[in-house]
């Protein structure tokens, strides 16, 4: 989704740190940012009650996306809000693994560790996958696709929910 919305590499590299901070930065304050040894991967989880900085996100995308994408982005944000659970939940706004380490279990290790906290809370967990290759990873960890998010030229985003355990 980020690469679709910011196709110019220079603009992407300039904006992405601020987008990451707005989307999942409070995970660092909450102690729910999971980072592997060697920094090969990271997952930013927001515990119940924590939220992304939606105003900053919208502003950043508005300032950095091309006009033909802005309308589609608004549709994406509206649909994401409709699928987002209203009950207390853990939210995974961002996960990433260094491409040279993908397929080596880094993403699975990040999910396993974070889901221990989710399960201790007896909470549900929610995420949106914009990468079809990641869906099977999430399904292996108990997530189920609950819909489809799409607007104009955007890639399909799949909201996924993991029931409380």
CA dist 115 and 109 (Å) reads 10
Quote the distance between the C-alpha of residue 69 and its chain's center.
19
Segment 46-75 mean pLDDT: 91
pLDDT band per the 50, 70, 90 thresholds, residue 28: very high
Is residue 25 over pLDDT 90? no
Q: Is 30 exposed, middle or buried (0-12, 13-18, 19+ CB in 10 A)?
A: middle
Q: How confident is the model at residue 138 (pLDDT cuts 50, 70, 90)?
A: very high
pLDDT in tens, 78-124: 999 999 999 999 999 999 999 999 999 999 999 999 999 999 999 99
- The angle formed by the CA atoms of residues 111, 46 and 75, to the nearest 5 degrees, is 100
Q: Report pLDDT for 128.
A: 97
The pLDDT-based confidence of 58 (bands split at 50, 70, 90) is confident
DSSP label of 156:
P
Residue 74 has φ and ψ, to the nearest 5°, of -60, -40
pLDDT at 2: 87
All structural domains of the chain, each given as residue ranges with its CATH number in brackets, are 2-162 (3.40.630.30)
> Hey, what are 139's tokens?
């399904």
Contact 95, 110 (CB under 8 A): yes
Cβ(33)–Cβ(45) below 8 Å? yes
């Amino acid at each position: 989704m980020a690469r679709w919305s910011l196709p110019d590499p220079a603009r992407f590299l300039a904006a992405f740190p601020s987008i990451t901070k707005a989307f999942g930065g409070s995970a660092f304050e909450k102690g729910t940012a999971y980072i592997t040894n060697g920094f090969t991967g990271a997952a930013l989880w927001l515990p119940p009650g924590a939220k992304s900085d939606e105003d900053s996100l919208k502003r950043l995308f508005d300032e950095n996306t091309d006009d033909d994408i802005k309308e589609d982005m608004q549709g994406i944000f509206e649909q994401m809000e409709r699928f987002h659970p209203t009950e207390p939940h853990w939210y995974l706004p961002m996960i990433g693994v260094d491409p040279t380490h993908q397929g080596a279990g880094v993403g699975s290790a990040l999910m396993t560790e974070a889901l221990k906290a989710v399960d201790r809370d007896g909470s549900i967990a929610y995420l949106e996958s914009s990468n079809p290759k990641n869906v099977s990873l999430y399904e292996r960890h108990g997530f189920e696709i609950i819909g489809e998010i799409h607007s104009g030229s955007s890639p399909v985003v799949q909201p996924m929910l993991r029931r409380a355990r």
